[in-house]
A and B are shown apart, each in its own frame.
Chain A
Amino acid sequence: MQATPANASGLRVDEKLERMKLFGLSSPALLLVLVILVIPVGWLFYVSFLGGNGQFSLENYQRMVERSSYMRIFRTTFEVSLVTTGLCILIGYPLAYFLSQIPPRIANLCMITVLLPFWTSLLVRTYAWLVLLQKQGLINEWAMALGLWDEPIKMVHNMTGTLIGMVHIMLPFLILPVYGSMKAVDRDYVKAAANLGASPRRAFWDVFFPLTMPGLFAGTLMVFILCLGFFVTPAVLGGGKVIMVSMKIVSNIELFVSWGAASALGVVLLALTFAILWVASRFLKLDQIAGGGH
């Protein structure tokens, strides 16, 4: 018979204790998640399967498939989210790049201005855009005074206004993770690429951009998912012409007092969001893009 390895049982006990402690420490948080997340969502799920008579029924879901208006709403939601996300990338990535290249002291100052919107109310920001963009708003009046255009342009209560407002509000969510991943890229990488013969453009696309992909990916996903459930800005700036899922949910409750229909919409939106996350994590293996190093 072999002698038992030294301390094997003692070390196993330690391992177990450590795990129990970890669980003990995280249990309040787990409980909180359970109470404020799992239970309400479960209830939402349950309500969505109740018909008008209070019995189990699929009518809430049936209606969504049958009525074209619902399809349109979902399409609008995705369109607005996609375009907003795309614009955020087009504006946010170069901006983050600029911030990552200038001296840190100035960059920090600029970062504060990027983050400033976070400290003001969403509603205030949205109404501020209303004031700026409306027919007698600042932008139209100044542009006409400068002779840029003669007639006031309709920039609000439509898709344009919605997009302007949403891009403005979503931009920090893209810039922050992108900026973070850019700062994490060792400057020697780009230097090495140049040394090996890559023009600044090649070095950027071959080395810098791939290394910032994880941040860009995280920011894109965050913006897109936040957009899917966005309410205030499209409601105020869309002027009833841009109807997104979240607005339909509100009208279902406020106008028709139909909790079942509203819940069903919520469940579908949630399911779609999860589906997107799942697909995204399947196809873009984050750790591989990052080389497993970051």
Chain B
Amino acid sequence: MRSQDSDALPISIRGVTKTYGAVHALDDVSLEVKSGEFITLLGPSGSGKTTLLMVIAGFTRPDCGSLKFGEREVIRTPPHLRDLGMTFQSYALFPHMSVAGNVAYPLKLRKLQKAEIAERVEKALETVQLGGYGDRRITQLSGGQKQRVALARSIVFEPRILLMDEPLSALDKKLRDQMQIELRHLHEKLGMTTVYVTHDQREALTMSDRIAVVNKGRIMQLASPRELYERPANRFVADFIGDSTFLPVERSGEQVSYGGMPLKFVQAPPDTPTLALMVRPERIVLSSEGPREGANNFAATAVEVVYQGDSYLLHARLDDGTLIALRGGVRGASLSALPNVGDKVTLTLAPEDTVLIDGSEA
């Protein structure tokens, strides 16, 4: 087993652009992935996530830009010399080889001893909970099993850089949760620099050291999960991660107000021409005793109450017509105190939860 850290490599991407005709699949992308870091690319379909992975792996030749693994410039290095592990969105398991044959292939190329190959293959298969499946044919596997074989194949040779393109998308929730933990463990143990692609924002939030939100070939924000969620850089990021309602606000000097009401907030608003108030459903609170001192209060009318088992969702209309969502707990008496449709309610937002962001449509 290799020692940690010393072997992991930082990835440095600078000014990478890739166009397909008029489409900017990647638009001047720069990204520094630290040694041993777990970075997730998160973004809507067609935003360029796969293209960026393909550039790192060497299968897509960008129009321009620089790519470094450590100190080494690799933008012109052919893929088979880049020595990184990758799982393909299509799995790309060789149909003419068995499961073990697939997983053993990178080890055979590296001319390892037969006994060691067998041992490492079995260990990799056990890691993805497919111990004893070595003799199966690829065509006899379910989608989720294929995905796990692909994962085993990409980690069996302990690459210093691992690229994963939605490696868990075909798994059911329970198995996916297990594999997420397994992947984290693996990452901690082997310490490889990891670039991960997913559509699942919860997966991104739980697994990553940092998340890069991608849209239309550009990185909208690169930040830790917490910062991304709490302090999104713009409306696109705020909208894409978690649910949120945006309320228009006006700024005059130091003061920011919504509908004439000055807002109390802790974090200074960004220095942009327009501002918007971001309201997350789980941060805004239903106040049973009317407006609360020291908080921002909003008068609204209950439109719909949805019971969801672990929580309830209240849709309320503000006086200016904006529909706002509120998620509440179901502990103790709070369920029985829920408003009826049509009731006047007061929603309150603590100053700490009052997040002002760039109001322009990015």
Q: Which residues of A contact B (CB under 8 A)?
A: 186, 188-189, 191-200, 202-203, 206-207, 210-211, 289-293
Contacts and interface: CB of A to CB of B under 8 A. Distances in A.
Interface string B66-96: 0000000000001110111110101011111
A188 B80 contact: no
Contact of B94 (A192, A195, A200, A289): A192
A139 to B, nearest CB: 42
Contact of B92 (A191, A197, A290): A191
Interface residues of B, number: 27
B138 A191 contact: no
Contact of B109 (A198, A290, A291): A198
- Determine which residue in A196, A207, A211, A293 has the highest number of CB atoms from chain B within 10 A of its CB, and name it: A196
A99 to B, nearest CB: 22
Given A193-B105, A195-B84, A197-B83, A188 B90 contact: yes
B57 interface: yes
A197 B109 contact: yes
Contact of A196 (B96, B109, B137, B138): B109
B95 A196 contact: no
A193 B94 CA distance: 9
Contacts of A197: 80, 83, 106, 109-110, 157
Contacts of B57: 191, 195
B137 A203 contact: no
Nearest 6 interchain pairs by C-beta: A291-B95, A192-B92, A188-B92, A196-B106, A194-B79, A197-B109
A191 B93 CA distance: 11
- Determine which residue in B84, B90, B95 has the highest number of CB atoms from chain A within 10 A of its CB, and name it: B95
B95 A211 contact: yes
Contacts of A189: 92, 94
A211 B137 CA distance: 14
B138 A291 contact: yes
Contact of A188 (B78, B88, B96, B137): B88
B106 A289 contact: no
B59 interface: yes
B153 A196 contact: yes
B29 to A, nearest CB: 21
Interface of B: 57-59, 78-80, 82-86, 88, 90, 92-96, 105-106, 109-110, 137-139, 153, 157
A195 B79 contact: yes
A195 B81 CA distance: 8
A207 B78 contact: no
B92 A199 contact: no
Given A188-B88, A193-B105, A292-B139, A207 B157 contact: no
Contacts of B82: 195
A292 B96 CA distance: 9
Contacts of B153: 196
Contacts of B93: 192
Given A192-B88, A196-B109, A203 B94 contact: no
Nearest to A211: B96
A194 B95 contact: no
A113 to B, nearest CB: 29
Contacts of B85: 195
Contacts of A206: 105
A191 B86 CA distance: 10
B61 to A, nearest CB: 13
Nearest to A192: B92
B137 A195 contact: no
26 contacts: A186-B90, A188-B88, A189-B92, A191-B88, A192-B94, A193-B105, A194-B79, A194-B80, A195-B84, A196-B105, A196-B106, A196-B109, A196-B153, A197-B80, A197-B109, A198-B109, A200-B80, A207-B94, A211-B95, A211-B96, A289-B96, A290-B96, A291-B96, A291-B137, A292-B139, A293-B95
Contacts of A202: 109
A292 B59 contact: no
Contacts of A293: 95, 138-139
A191 B90 CA distance: 11
Contacts of A203: 80
Contacts of B96: 207, 210-211, 289-291
A207 B138 CA distance: 14
B105 A195 contact: no
B80 A195 contact: yes
Contacts of B138: 291, 293
A207 B105 CA distance: 10
A204 to B, nearest CB: 12
A18 B73 CA distance: 65
A194 B139 CA distance: 22
- Determine which residue in B57, B80, B84, B86 has the highest number of CB atoms from chain A within 10 A of its CB, and name it: B80
Given A291-B95, A291-B96, A191 B105 contact: no
- Determine which residue in A192, A199, A203, A211 has the highest number of CB atoms from chain B within 10 A of its CB, and name it: A192
A203 B153 CA distance: 16
B157 A196 contact: yes
Nearest to B106: A196
Contacts of A186: 90, 92
Given A186-B90, A189-B92, A291-B139, A194 B78 contact: yes
A169 to B, nearest CB: 32
- Determine which residue in A188, A202, A203, A211 has the highest number of CB atoms from chain B within 10 A of its CB, and name it: A188
